Amino acid sequence: MLNGQLIRKGDKVIMWYASGNRDENVFERPDDLIIDRSNARSHLSFGFGVHRCMGNRLAELQLRILWEELIERFEAISVL
């Protein structure tokens, strides 16, 4: 049983990360881009715990470089 649904031997089960990251039980206004979301790290894209995605660190470094370059080039940055 998965969430009340019987799964028999041989049945196919698929996990959609895009769907999981828009779970209205986890995220308020899940379809809106809210960059300062309080539970932003609850998304499934990079995993967590011992199964954390190695690409997570690369993405963090890319964002750091992006922000360093933006801050150098622009006097002010605001989120609308």
Kindly provide the residue ranges of all beta strands, DSSP E only, lying in the chain, ordered along the sequence. Answer: none
> Where is pLDDT greater, at 61 or 46?
61
3-state secondary structure of 5: strand
Question: Tokens standing for 57?
Answer: 């660190």
Q: Which residues touch 70 (CB under 8 Å, ≥6 apart)?
A: 77
Residue 17: predicted pLDDT: 64
Mean pLDDT of 57-74: 91
Residue recorded with tokens 């828009």: 22
Work out whether the CA dihedral 7, 12, 18, 19 comes out positive or negative.
negative
Residue 75 DSSP label = S
Q: List, for residues 6-59, the tens digit of each pLDDT value.
A: 999 999 988 776 676 788 888 899 889 888 888 877 777 666 666 667 777 888
Q: Is residue 72 over pLDDT 70? A: yes
For the chain, how long is the longest CA-to-CA vector? Answer: 60
